[in-house]
Chain A
Amino acid sequence: MTCSLRTRLLTGIIVGMILLLTVFSLLIYGVIRSALVKQFDTSLASVTHMLAASVELDNDKIELEFEVQQMSEFQNSEHPTHYQFWGPNDVVVAKSPLLGTDDLLRIEGSLNELVLGISQDKNGQPQRTAGLKFMPRIADSDDKNYQPPTNVQAITLVVARDVGDLHGQLRFLRWLLLIASAAVIALSFLIAAIIVRQGLNPLHSIAAGIAAISEDDLATRIGTTSAPAEIIPIKNRLNDLLSRIEDAFRRERRFTADVAHELRTPLAGIRSIIEVSLTRARDTDEYQRVLSECVVIVENMQTMVNNLLMIARLDARQVTFRHEHIYLCELVNSCWRPFSEKAKEREIAFENQAPNEITVNSDRENLSMVLSNLLNNAVEYANDAGQIWATANYTNDSVEITVANTGCQLTNEEVAQVFDCFWRGDSSRKDAGVHCGLGLALVQRIIQALGGFTTAEVKSDGIFTIRLVLSQQANSGRKGC
């Protein structure tokens, strides 16, 4: 089905025209033919009746009126009309002079019934014949003593007429219909080609519109205002698609620009630190201080690059998971350990409210990465002497885990953005560069890949809660290994 719309439409129109014309031609031909044949037969019948009427039985002798014999149609040797009479005992009483020695095929029905048939003359020319069996008229006589014949016997008359004329007319009709049909088809092909081309013009203009849209100029929309009604939905869908592509490109560009920005800033830091320290000779302590400063930046960059790579792999579905039953209370405790010291320094209280018995069927490594990220954020952004707590419970077919901390200063609008890449709550940022703004984006993507979803909310008392809902249905998540 690779042929063009134009070819399809043209083929359809032409095949349809041929079919219609054939049917109509056959119909017309049939009707005219039967009318002509009927007319021919009527004429043949009238000739037959006339001949029959011209026969007189005179003293047991059959006589044919002379005028009748002289009628032109019996004289026409090219398309002749023949007649033959048979008397009793199959004796030929009279026949056309043109017949010579030949006989006509004798057909007859019951008395006074006209029988029609087809036969051939001696040259094999087709002719139509009419046979009539009739009682001859008895000649009037002035003789008083005349005794009408007592034994009047039926006479059979057969009239045969050459159908050359009829066939010629029919042949002409056939040719006329054929040529007319061919001409109509040829004309309709031309007209159809023009109409199809005109009809397909909006498609061409849409194609030209699409072709004119380059990768750098996705803001352009296909705008044929005078498009026909059938094309408008296509145009609208295409424009919708373009909008989505444009959005995707914009997001992609924005992401690339963000990545570049986030990598350039620490690079600028390292370069500046090194170059400034190289401007003059310095003592060992200073070099050590500079180098350890650089190491901290490099570590942060490494974390960011790892997070980016993980996000890229999750997006490309290249991460495989090994699902197992995990005791959440235990996992939360082990994830908290690295942050407990820092929390103690800032007098932040931590409470693990996850019940001992709650388990989740998930990937341990990735889930602990998620929890570590959340707890790290919580410690980072909780107020001094604030509180952090983690909970876990079963809901319908899923396990819900929350990590919450006090001291959040984000507004609801800002909270809606926390899962975006490179988003940081500016006002709560303690030191640019330490947090690259990928932690929660990574959390969201891991949870989605594990077959769940994340929500974030802030309450008026400054309690910030991240909720993870992990579906526990058998087919949830993408399982690997």
Chain B
Amino acid sequence: MRLLVIEDYRPLQQSLAKGLREAGFAVDTTRDGREGLWYAMSNEYDVIILDLMLPGMDGLEILKKIRTQGRKSHVMILTAKDTLQDRVTGLDLGADDYLVKPFAFKELLARVRALLRRSYRQKSPRIRVKDLQIDLTTQRVWRGRDEIQLTPREYALLEYLAMRAGQTISRTDIWEHIYDFNSSASSNVVDVYIGYLRKKIERPNKPRLIHTVRGRGYVLGAQS
């Protein structure tokens, strides 16, 4: 899952990026409003964490532009402005969530996860694909009764496939949602990680979960 953090207070921006990356997200950061808008327009982010008072361009302005351009990214406003009017204005302009500084990092993570579930129409924090189970909160994976240990990158890949289980997903899509802007990896690396993931979750005596759709990408579970 790929996130964008637009926050001009450097200590907060850095720690947020660090915490979110450690939680398995691909994170891009910027502290300038105009740059933030450029990022938001040029990539399909799952969640954008947006400060309101920014140099270059105001957060609400960015939000308006994102929405008028029809971007589907979920936007969480993260600000020290806490009045009712501020919240109402933010949410009415198209924000999906509003968190007031200072905040608990765990809450921010939980809200980001909730936004992600919403964007992939997943109500439950636990995804089942046949006998594969993924707990989105604890980031643990089981095949039948056996728990499978995955690296953060492998988990991120599986989570993205599981969120869109049954749909064919292109390599570019996967690459864009798993890797952040600064990553040097190319989309070929997706094939490599699919290989790793198959080794860990496929069982010889059970049906295959990850299917390759020739020329189009991959699909988890039965094709829809």
Contact = CB atoms under 8 A, between A and B. Distances in A.
B12 interface: yes
B55 A429 contact: yes
A293 B8 CA distance: 16
B204 interface: no
Residue picked from B11, B22, B56, B83, most chain A C-beta under 10 Å: B11
Contacts of B23: 279
A257 B19 CA distance: 29
8 contacts: A261-B81, A262-B80, A265-B9, A266-B9, A267-B102, A268-B102, A273-B11, A275-B19
Contacts of A431: 10
A269 B22 contact: no
B38 interface: no
B35 to A, nearest CB: 13
Contacts of A214: none
A426 interface: yes
A276 B103 CA distance: 12
B22 A261 contact: no
Contacts of A91: none
Contacts of A297: 11
Contact of B105 (A264, A265, A276, A280): A276
Interface string B83-116: 1000000000000000011111110000000000
A267 B11 CA distance: 10
A429 B31 CA distance: 11
A201 interface: no
A433 interface: yes
B104 A432 contact: no
B190 interface: no
Contact of A272 (B8, B12, B82, B100): B12
Nearest to A300: B11
Interface residues of A, number: 28
A261 B102 CA distance: 10
A51 to B, nearest CB: 110
B15 interface: yes
B102 A432 contact: no
Interface in B16-38: 16, 18-19, 22-23, 31
B53 interface: yes
B80 A265 contact: yes
A260 interface: yes
Contacts of A226: none
Residue picked from A269, A427, A429, A431, most chain B C-beta under 10 Å: A269
Interface of A: 257, 260-262, 264-273, 275-277, 279-280, 293, 296-297, 426-427, 429, 431-433
Residue picked from B81, B105, B106, most chain A C-beta under 10 Å: B105
Contacts of A427: 55-56
A432 B7 CA distance: 10
Given A261-B53, A271-B102, A272-B105, A279 B11 contact: no
A267 B103 CA distance: 9
A293 B56 contact: no
Contact of A279 (B19, B81, B83): B19
A272 B10 contact: no
Interface string B142-172: 0000000000000000000000000000000
A260 B81 CA distance: 9
A271 B31 CA distance: 19
A267 B15 CA distance: 13
Given A276-B105, A432-B9, A269 B31 contact: no
Contacts of B56: 426-427
Nearest to A290: B15
B8 A275 contact: no
Nearest to A267: B102
A139 to B, nearest CB: 125
Given A261-B81, A264-B80, A297-B11, A272 B106 contact: no
Given A268-B12, A432-B10, A433-B10, A275 B31 contact: no
B105 A271 contact: yes
Contacts of B81: 257, 261
Across the A-B interface, give the 6 residue pairs with the lowest CB-CB distance, nearest first: A276-B19, A268-B101, A275-B105, A268-B102, A264-B80, A269-B11
A280 B56 CA distance: 35
Contact of A260 (B9, B10, B16, B80): B80
Given A265-B80, A432-B31, A276 B10 contact: no
A265 B22 contact: no
Contacts of B11: 266, 269-270, 272-273, 293, 296-297, 433
